[in-house]
Structure 1
Amino acid sequence: MDHNKYTKFSLLPLLFFILIFIGSGIITQDFYQLPINVALIATLVVAMVMFPKIKLSTKIHHAINGARDENIILMVFIFLLAGAFGMITKETGAVESTVNLGLTFIPSQLLLVGVFVIACLISLTMGTSTGTVVALGPIALGIANGTEISLPLSMATVVGGAMFGDNLSFISDTTIVATKTQEVKMIDKFKVNFLIVLPGAVVTCIILFLLSMNIELDQSMDHPFNMINTIPYFIVLIFALIGLNVLVVLTIGIVTAIVTGLITQSIQLNNIGSTLAEGISSMQDIAIIALLIGALLGLIQYYGGINWLLTTIKNKVRTVIGAKFGMGILVSAINIATANNTIALIIAGPLAKDIADTYTIDRRKSASIIDIFASSTQGLLPYGAQILAASGVASISPVMMLQYSYYPMLLLICASCAIIFNYPKLKSSN
């Protein structure tokens, strides 16, 4: 095949996907009305009928090769294990105990700061931003109702903390995708990523402290917890921090959650299998989406689309700084189109890796950049899952929270400053 002959049009399937996804969202006023997997299947059909001179069997071959890429398959396994871990910890009461453990030790003068920090820690250990919002949202709602704190501010604080962990957690699907597509170790990406976002988290805490320093918490509020039930999250966090393989970490976490659940009698032996199956089922959609995107990218790459896009970026970008911003803009644009930062990373990740290699950018930084831009964009989308979940809990408009979304805004600023000033300075990983 003459790639140069087709590259001019080879990205049309991706454009088609973006158009039908955004178009359906605008028409129905619901960006989740059209399931992404359905949109991807339609896009694959379009990709298959393009360039009729190429044999269908050849197209199918390259689509399958894209879907069975090692990183795609690994992500599928990780997603399924993460779903099982999330459901078993929810069923055993680990989620509630972990949340209440943090809330018990919040000084009344640090309400918003405490909620933000707890959301950071919960999302860091749970690996799910939406789950964090759902878990902490009712608490934030209660705090706002019992004090003078603005309800949109309280809910936006939870979303901000949730995006902190979404960006950094070792078991977050975004971290998994960012590290796997850039082919770097999670612990290495974490160290670089943490240094970049830390100033944003600190400034957020300062802002929240100034806003809530004179607010008192109703001391009659009770937050019971069982320390035994919190063990699975601490186990996962510790083993993840020391760099153990994520599949092993999740497996250990699942086993630990089962054991602690049986000890505290919060789960019955005959319910374990169905609970794990429910968790796995909850992640089947994202696993299938990963496979479909892999197939689509396999076709686009065969058609020469990736090479064409790289060449275009090279012609527009003249500096390493420009290349880094190009990565961030690319993943942000896809995230805005799909309202899903994980999917945006799956699509943009391979291209970001090629850009990093072309401009000799340390992949630890490329992984951090795309993950930060994806997380910050997601935290500012009024039609994103996190803000929608928060607005649902509080029964307020998603748009009302945007002006209080301090941490996602500061994420963009921190990432931009890190790019401009080449921070942090890194030694070669080789």
Structure 2
Amino acid sequence: MNEKKITKQYGAIAFLPLIIFLALYIGSGLYFTFTGAEDAFKQFPRHVALMIGIGIALLMNRTMKLDEKIEVFSKNAGNSGVMLIGLIYLLAGGFQGAARSMGGVDSVVNMGLSFIPPALLIPGVFAMSSFIATSIGTSMGTVAAMAPIAIGVAAKADLNVAIACAAVIGGAYFGDNLSIISDTTISATKGVGCEMKDKFKMNFFIALPAALITMGIYAFIGGSGQIEGDLSYSIIKIVPYIVVLITAMMGFNVVGVLIIGIIMSGAIGLATNSINFLGFIQAVGTGMEEMMSITILAILVSGLIGLVKHYGGIDWLIEKITSSIKDRKGAEYGIGLLAGLLSMSLVNNTIAIIISAPIAKEIGFKFNISPKRLASLLDIFACALLSICPHDGAMLITTGLAGISPIEVLQYAFYPILLILSTVITIQFGLLRTKEEKEYIKASKVS
């Protein structure tokens, strides 16, 4: 059976395996949340839910032999792009583990806190969270490091703890959105085929105005306080983060950049007696293990999406979306909402991007949207909409530590709202378009 007949036969039904996966994972997570279970979204492992979806996909289309369907799945799961994503995930985890083990995270946190003026405590917390997240590439890791400090300082200085929590979360997502070693950045850039430095620049010009306005608001309403305690840090332990950021921005291959970061972290750790050789190796291994789950998930999702595409589902979806989308503006809104709604549903922005990227790439090709713009839209909407969910992990950590409700924190969640507004402005007024995009639009109008 050729691909056109498969497309006609299945259409929307081709998405059934993916829908089953999402229903099992999200449905069980919500159920266990309502019943008060701990780690509600881990009660029904997402890998098991995904394997059930894959099993359904393999049972579909009886005109194809099982061997042929497995071949389609394997080719898509093991394509070079997915393997590169997996390699980068593992190296990013290894770098994070190595840098953390030699005291890099503590030094980054303490150095930032040392320079926060008492009168700018809340905007300083936002800036510090941004810096940490950009350096270490994880919003959750940033929240775990910063939330106890920010909450403790706010309580001691008699400041609004909810504002401090919102500042930590907002800054963490701002930095994570920009970081070149963040799993969301890796998934978005490699998923649509763009350079990390290009996506960074696109995101920076959209996110910076939102961040600056947020800090201005926090400076006005945040109050004044003093950070006390041991804030000792070592500049040399921060060097690997700086080198990784600069070399990546210069356009160096990200795999090489991360390998350099790992080696530098180990060398500095050994030179400063912060860690021994075996401890360094174990830290790299632990960091890689932390990224193993998302690596396997990316491979399995890619294989499943390959079957959905082979059954005609992607073509059907693009046709349906583009038939109701009249122009590029509508396409950009559609891509952003797809990533954002999936992120909110899955409570995981990385998985949402992995699922959305192939679809966004196809839509982008039809409307001549540059890959860096696609990557930026996917990352921004997936992060921004997730950060205002009461059930997001970062929200649960901060509110749990502070003993307050998510609703109290959301009152001061200015950054994600301003980020969405800033992105909408660029979509609505056609800002930040590349030279090629402008020429394409001009040619389309002429024709």
TM-score (structure 2 length as normaliser): 0.92
Unaligned runs of 5+ in 2: 34-39, 440-447
Greater Cα shift, 39-48 or 93-102: 39-48
Aligned twin of 1:386: 394
In 1, the alpha carbon distance for the partners of 2:411 and 2:48 equals 33
Q: Is the 8 A contact 2:364 2:371 kept in 1?
A: yes
Aligned twin of 1:103: 113
In 2, the alpha carbon distance for the partners of 1:337 and 1:57 equals 33
**Deviation string, structure 1 residues 359-380 (Cα, Å, up to 9, x no partner):** 1112221111111111101211
Give the 5 Å matches for 1:9-408.
Answer: 9-29=13-33, 30-212=40-222, 214-218=223-227, 220-408=228-416
Q: Is the 8 A contact 1:86 1:279 kept in 2?
A: yes
**Deviation string, structure 1 residues 285-325 (Cα, Å, up to 9, x no partner):** 00110111011101101111000000000111111111110
Pairwise CA RMSD: 1.6
In 2, the alpha carbon distance for the partners of 1:234 and 1:308 equals 45
Q: Which amino acid aligns with 1:162?
A: A
In 2, the alpha carbon distance for the partners of 1:43 and 1:166 equals 30
**Deviation string, structure 1 residues 29-48 (Cα, Å, up to 9, x no partner):** 12343222121111111111
Q: Is the 8 A contact 2:153 2:225 kept in 1?
A: no
Aligned twin of 2:442: none
Tell me by how many angstroms 1:399 deviates: 4.1
Aligned twin of 2:36: none
Report % sequence identity: 39
1:8 to 9, 12, 27: 12
Aligned twin of 2:37: none
> Aligned residue pairs: how many?
428
**Deviation string, structure 1 residues 78-120 (Cα, Å, up to 9, x no partner):** 1111111111111111100111001101111111111111111
Tell me by how many angstroms 1:15 deviates: 1.5
In 2, the alpha carbon distance for the partners of 1:234 and 1:404 equals 31
In 1, the alpha carbon distance for the partners of 2:121 and 2:385 equals 26
Q: Which amino acid aligns with 1:365?
A: R
Q: Which amino acid aligns with 1:329?
A: L
**Partner-residue secondary structure (3-state), 1:10:** helix
**Partner-residue secondary structure (3-state), 1:54:** coil
**Partner-residue secondary structure (3-state), 2:130:** helix
Q: Which amino acid aligns with 2:252?
A: L
Tell me by how many angstroms 1:268 deviates: 1.1
Q: Which amino acid aligns with 2:392?
A: G
Unaligned runs of 5+ in 1: none
Q: Is the 8 A contact 1:290 1:343 kept in 2?
A: yes
Tell me by how many angstroms 1:385 deviates: 2.4
In 1, the alpha carbon distance for the partners of 2:383 and 2:99 equals 24
Tell me by how many angstroms 1:223 deviates: 0.9
**Deviation string, structure 1 residues 375-420 (Cα, Å, up to 9, x no partner):** 1012112222222232343344444322222111111111111110
In 2, the alpha carbon distance for the partners of 1:18 and 1:402 equals 26
Q: Which amino acid aligns with 1:426?
A: T
**Deviation string, structure 1 residues 310-369 (Cα, Å, up to 9, x no partner):** 000011111111111000111112112211111111100011011111011122211111
In 1, the alpha carbon distance for the partners of 2:30 and 2:151 equals 30
In 1, the alpha carbon distance for the partners of 2:112 and 2:245 equals 16
Q: Which amino acid aligns with 1:5?
A: Q
**Deviation string, structure 1 residues 155-211 (Cα, Å, up to 9, x no partner):** 121111110111111111111111112211111111111111111111111111111
Q: Which amino acid aligns with 2:78?
A: R
Q: Which amino acid aligns with 2:23?
A: L
Aligned twin of 2:444: none
Q: Is the 8 A contact 2:12 2:317 kept in 1?
A: no
In 1, the alpha carbon distance for the partners of 2:413 and 2:80 equals 37
Q: Which amino acid aligns with 2:260?
A: I
In 1, the alpha carbon distance for the partners of 2:125 and 2:162 equals 14
